Amino acid sequence: MSVITREDIRNVAIIAHVDHGKTTLVDGMLRQSGVFRENQEVRERVMDSGAIERERGITILSKNTAIEYEGVKINIIDTPGHADFGGEVERVLKMVNGVILLVDAFEGTMPQTKFVLKKALDLDLAVIVCINKIDRPEARPEEVVDEVLELLMDLDASDAQLECPFVFASAREGTCVRNLGDEAKDLKPLFETILEAIPAPTGDPEKGTQVLISTIDYNEYVGRIGIGKVDNGSIRVGQEIVRVNFHNPEVREKTRITKLYEFDGLKKVDVAEAGVGSIVAISGIGDLQIGDTLCAPDEIDAIPFQKISEPTIAMNFIVNDSPLAGLEGTYCTSRQIRERLFRELNTDVSLRVEDTDNTDTFRVSGRGELHLSVLIETMRREGYEFAVSKAEVIFKTDEKGRKLEPMEIAYVDVPQDYSGTIISMLSERKGELQGMSTLADGTVRLEFEIPARGLIGIHGNFLTATKGTGIMNSVFEEYAPYKGDLSYRKNGSLVAFEDGEAVTYGLFAAQERGALFISPGTKVYAGMVVGESSRPEEIEINVCKTKHLTNTRSSSADEALTLTPPRILSLEQALDYIDADELLEVTPKSLRIRKRILDSRLRKRANFSNK
């Protein structure tokens, strides 16, 4: 056995809480390593290639890139920061020897910082802590350094991990320093720290090929592309290999490498062969899965792979059967929706899709509401039309037969004036206050343990209660005994009474009953939810009602009717709003909330029998 160290390679992942600046930092590293020409126009956050990623300012899928610094190739993986995409982070850490933990110089350590750091420490990875956004006016880098050290101690970091280097950066400016107060010029101190603190990959080049597939990319032309690190041996085009899986001994498939790539800047470059420590992309293997190991046929040895955390939230995707079905979507049938959902499993390991007793209904489970809403938005943009039910948590039972439910740790940052309101709001949803502290700018940070179902549908109410100033982040903690029943919504719905088109006269009469979601000219049907009632019960209204014409005129009756502007719900708000007996109809052009049972008599009968 002759283990070698590849000093010409460093493999590093950038991990952080959402919006702490990972993708912006990668931008700066790419610019300063000469990947782009001097005068090349490059958009911001170039690694966020998806339209939804760019609009929302979040990373959803991990991305690979590579830069060259002083003769060393640095493979960089930009990971998502949101807890719902934690499955992406867990698996890419198997490809690297160290991580850059990015922490906002004002916000400090957040729930997702703890989550991603714990995963890195469990794998015994080297850590570089980068305190980012030190140019923010309210930045408090010294205090944040203490917070990170406390977090490392809380997570039982080894002595070597506690000795990790700290650097201070402004990713937006593209500068970094080793000590606060030093003159900031560029990102050189970060590049040098990577070469010093991140171990070079090691492996045995004479052993049989071993490549663990950690990420799957998908391309319409070449199909599945597996991305992984060469742990031992080498891999070359035309080589015969065997695909095996540590958790699934039944997988044993002989195949051949047809295409091999390495990363260079933002491109994939064809290579004939790659050795120990290289991060490679492989295409041409049809059934390639995350967690598979590609081995030499004469030396089959599957690499252990951490199982991905299970989903905690599920919803039904249903073929749209409303009176307006099929008018706006291109793909509406059960076969097309099923095909698309199962195709998503090619790249998203945290997702589960199951057939149900009803051929028109599919149960889709994910890591959180955001995880599922991104899938809904993606499908909608691709021309799919369907309906979805309210998200519900996935319960389990323990060996004593007790019902268990997923619990979350929620961190809430709100101005002092709103802390009382938020404490009572979360307490009503079975949240227990675990801690309370005041930040440097006077904001109060509240820490709650709360059932995951207590957070479903809370976002809109939370923003209203804090006048848009509150920030809430949560991360899954554990399954715990069921906390009791919850009531989600205090107000009933305003439901359309007949099919037709909403008119000003009908809406004017209806707006006295509550807040409207539609404007004049909107097509409606019986059983469609057109607003929120000001009372707890459901109210049926006729928004298509026109004024009866008479021969008499009065001086005031013909004055223009004034309508309050409707509340237009975004996809997330609509998913938050719907109740258990309602569905959200999703088409490329519209979002409509509707009752599950459209006929009012059948609906009343069903409600009566449920009581």
Phi and psi at 576, nearest 5°, equal: -65, -40
Which pLDDT belongs to residue 501? 92
Specify whether 85 is located in the same domain as 68. Answer: yes
Specify whether 194 is located in the same domain as 210. Answer: no
**359 belongs to a structural domain:** no
Which residue is listed with tokens 């599957």? 302
Which residue is listed with tokens 């690297």? 96
**509 belongs to a structural domain:** no
Residues spanned by the domain of 236: 204-295
Secondary structure (3-state) at 572: helix
Which CATH number belongs to the domain containing residue 280 in this structure?
2.40.30.10
Task: Give the domain-ending residue among 150, 165, 200.
Answer: 200
Mean pLDDT of residues grouped by 10 in the chain (611 residues)? 80 78 76 53 40 42 71 80 54 84 85 78 88 86 89 86 88 84 83 89 84 78 81 86 82 84 78 85 80 84 76 92 92 94 81 93 88 88 94 89 89 87 90 85 85 82 81 81 81 90 89 91 93 90 76 51 87 86 94 92 75 52
Specify whether 10 is located in the same domain as 108. Answer: yes
Specify whether 235 is located in the same domain as 218. Answer: yes
Which pLDDT belongs to residue 611? 52
Which pLDDT belongs to residue 525? 94
Specify whether 81 is located in the same domain as 14. Answer: yes
pTM: 0.76
Which pLDDT belongs to residue 43? 38
Q: What is d(CA 176, CA 37) in angstroms, rounded to the nearest whole number?
A: 22
- When divided into structural domains, the chain yields a total of 3
Specify whether 165 is located in the same domain as 36. Answer: yes
Greatest extent of the chain over all pairs of C-alpha atoms, in Å: 103
Specify whether 219 is located in the same domain as 192. Answer: no
Specify whether 223 is located in the same domain as 255. Answer: yes
Q: What is d(CA 209, CA 541) in angstroms, rounded to the nearest whole number?
A: 69
Which pLDDT belongs to residue 470? 81
DSSP string covering 281-307? EEE--TT--TTEEEEBTTB--PPP-PP
Task: Give the domain-ending residue among 481, 496, 516.
Answer: 481
Which pLDDT belongs to residue 606? 78
Which pLDDT belongs to residue 20? 64
Amino acid at 270: D
Closest CA to 500 of 472, 530, 480, 478: 530
Q: Are 376 and 571 in contact (CB under 8 A)?
A: yes
Q: What is d(CA 560, CA 44) in angstroms, rounded to the nearest whole number?
A: 48
**50 belongs to a structural domain:** yes
Which pLDDT belongs to residue 47? 39
**421 belongs to a structural domain:** yes
Closest CA to 119 of 147, 146, 80, 145: 80
Q: Are 476 and 408 in contact (CB under 8 A)?
A: yes
Residues ≥6 apart with Cβ < 8 Å to 456: 313, 369, 390, 391, 392, 393, 488, 576
Specify whether 44 is located in the same domain as 142. Answer: yes
Q: What is d(CA 2, CA 306) in angstroms, rounded to the nearest whole number?
A: 27
Closest CA to 598 of 320, 288, 350, 391: 320
Which pLDDT belongs to residue 591? 93
Specify whether 34 is located in the same domain as 73. Answer: yes
Q: What is d(CA 78, CA 51) in angstroms, rounded to the nearest whole number?
A: 17
Specify whether 164 is located in the same domain as 227. Answer: no
**Residues forming beta bridges with residue 254, ordered by sequence position:** 242
Which pLDDT belongs to residue 548? 63
Per-residue pLDDT tens over the stretch 402-435: 999 999 888 888 888 888 999 998 998 899 999 8
Task: Give the domain-ending residue among 443, 458, 481.
Answer: 481
